[in-house]
Amino acid sequence: MTRYHDDEWGVPIRDPVALFERLALESFQAGLSWATILRKRAAFRAAFDGFDPAIVAAYGAADADRLMGDAGIVRNRAKIEATIGNARAFLALEATDGGFAALVDGFVPPPPPRRPRGTRLTDLPATTPAAEALSRELRARGFRFVGPTIVYAFLQSAGWVDDHLPGCFRYRG
């Protein structure tokens, strides 16, 4: 968890494959601990062909069945099928001007004022109005398992939102 925080969490990424992976993993995390997802991350990457959305979008029923049989990942048919459908929706967005990242950019509010020293993780929101609006937009575009809490966690992990705490070397304030 420390390595993930120090090397990845909250670091801005805009690479489409990396963004799709983060969104997919956040969706799989719903109802589970993030530690569980991180432990299974290598297996997820292998099972989902590196989360290349062009490959995942081409998956069919046999691929969904194969994934359901893979003990290395979270075997939840709804989440697996959502990830396949989300790859198709992601590619449709990538074909638009600016792609997925540009859509997300349009929903991210300006940074909040500096957090006071002593801010704790429990002081951070689980979702925001911007995440709720982006969640609605993604669902309207065919995405599933993208509720406001999942979307907010994605915004945090992909660096659109800085929820590092004051005193953390990554905190941009």
How confident is the model over 123-138, as pLDDT tens digits?
Answer: 888 999 999 999 999 9
CATH number of the structural domain spanning residue 136: 1.10.340.30
Local structure of 126: helix, strand or coil: coil
Question: What angle do helix axes 148-157 and 129-140 make, rounded to 10 degrees?
Answer: 110
Look at residue 169 and tell me if it is in a domain.
no
| From 8, 34, 132, 137, active-site residue | 34
For tokens 């990554």, the residue is 170
Residue 167 counted as domain residue = no
26 catalytically annotated: yes
In the residue annotation, 160 being an active-site residue is answered as: no
**Residue 115 reports pLDDT greater than 90:** no
Number of neighbouring beta carbons within 10 Å of residue 85: 17
Rounded to whole angstroms, the Cα distance separating 109 from 35 reads: 28
Query: Helices marked H in 48-107 — which ranges?
Result: 53-57, 61-68, 77-94, 99-105
Backbone angles phi, psi at 49, to 5 degrees: 50, 50
| Domains held by the chain: number | 1
**Residue 66 domain-assigned?**
yes
Residue 4 falls in the annotated catalytic set:
yes
Considering the domain boundaries, does residue 93 fall inside one?
yes
**Residue keyed to tokens 């989440």:** 79
Q: Mean pLDDT check: name the lowest of 4-13, 18-27, 56-65, 153-162.
A: 4-13
Residue 8, in any domain of the structure: yes
Place of tokens 């991180």: 38
Output 152 or 113, whichever has higher pLDDT.
152
Tens-digit pLDDT profile for residues 47-89: 999 999 999 999 999 999 999 999 999 999 999 999 999 999 9
pLDDT-wise least confident of 66-70, 111-115, 166-170: 111-115
Tell whether the model's pLDDT for residue 116 goes beyond 90: no
Q: What share of the chain has pLDDT > 90, as a percent?
A: 75
Q: Are 17 and 53 in contact (CB under 8 A)?
A: yes
Residue 171 has pLDDT above 90, yes or no: no
Residue 23 included in any domain: yes
Instruction: Please state, in angstroms and rounded to a whole number, the distance separating the CA atoms of residues 32 and 133.
Output: 24
From the candidates 8, 9, 21, 26, give the one annotated as an active-site residue.
Answer: 26
Domain that holds residue 25: 2-157
